[in-house]
Amino acid sequence: MSRILVWMVLGLAVLWAAGNADIGLEKLPGAGPRLAEFLGRMIPPDLSVWPEVLTGLTETLRIAILGTLFAVVLSAGLAVLASETLVPAAIWRPVRALLAVIRSIPLILVAMLMVGAVGLGPLPGILAITFHATGMLAKFYAEAIDNVGAAPLAALESAGASRAQLLRWAIWPQMAPVVLRDTVFRFELNLRESLILGIVGAGGIGLYVQTYVRSFQYDKAATVTLAIIALVLLFEGLNSVLQKRFS
């Protein structure tokens, strides 16, 4: 009965969305020629801007790396406070609520606030990535702690182990593969999000995308696009290698 109710709710949600979306499908026939014209302006790419593109990509990569690193450090501590296994409900419930609030704030809004607080450049991008990623990673880490097997915990507790010893010898060996998987996933997500932070002045390749598109230099924008695709595909491959290596 519950499954039928779930499917009914989902079906009604789809019907409601389709009936009130004002999609405007009649616009599609005329979109093709306009899209072809836009893409035609991007060919051939202008490779003369490659030095600037490389500078932007390097800055984007730095933002993603440092933002992820700081988020991992903060998440490690918050995950302990958000774990049902390690702390009482009076602690983990408010911490999890705080993490939910952090995740609910759009990254672009956080980046704009950071730009207003510390100015233009990569620093607001790093701070925005750190803030936003912490809300997700701390939740993932806390869930990894709570999902570990009970037998090792019970054995160490019966031997009089402290909370720190439980975390080090019973919890960490079980959760380490999950933590690595979630951290790599979040880094990949941070990298993709860092690509657009430059649009609001938070550093990275996004600034060049905005500049070239607004000035109608589509051939230069094409070079930026190709560089972004190459960077994302590179880290997709590295992610796959790491997943196979540690799975």
Higher pLDDT, 18 or 5: 5
Residue 137: band (very low, low, confident or very high) from pLDDT cuts 50, 70, 90? very high
Residue 246: band (very low, low, confident or very high) from pLDDT cuts 50, 70, 90? low
**What mean pLDDT is predicted for residues 134-150?**
87
> What pLDDT score was predicted for residue 196?
79
Say how many residues make up the chain.
247
Candidates 2.170.150.70, 1.10.357.10, 1.10.3720.10, 3.30.70.100; correct CATH number of 46-148+158-244?
A: 1.10.3720.10
**What mean pLDDT is predicted for residues 78-90?**
87
> What pLDDT score was predicted for residue 128?
92
> What pLDDT score was predicted for residue 21?
61
**What mean pLDDT is predicted for residues 181-202?**
83
> What pLDDT score was predicted for residue 130?
94
pTM of the model: 0.78
Residue 119: band (very low, low, confident or very high) from pLDDT cuts 50, 70, 90? confident
- Return the structure tokens found at 167: 């975390």
Residue 97: band (very low, low, confident or very high) from pLDDT cuts 50, 70, 90? very high
What is the radius of gyration, based on Cα positions, of the chain?
Answer: 23
Share of the chain above pLDDT 90, in %: 17
- Would you say residue 36 has pLDDT above 90? no
Average pLDDT, the chain: 82
> What pLDDT score was predicted for residue 25?
61
> What pLDDT score was predicted for residue 247?
61
Higher pLDDT, 92 or 210: 92
- Would you say residue 7 has pLDDT above 70? yes
Higher pLDDT, 46 or 143: 143
Encoded amino acid at 32, one letter: G
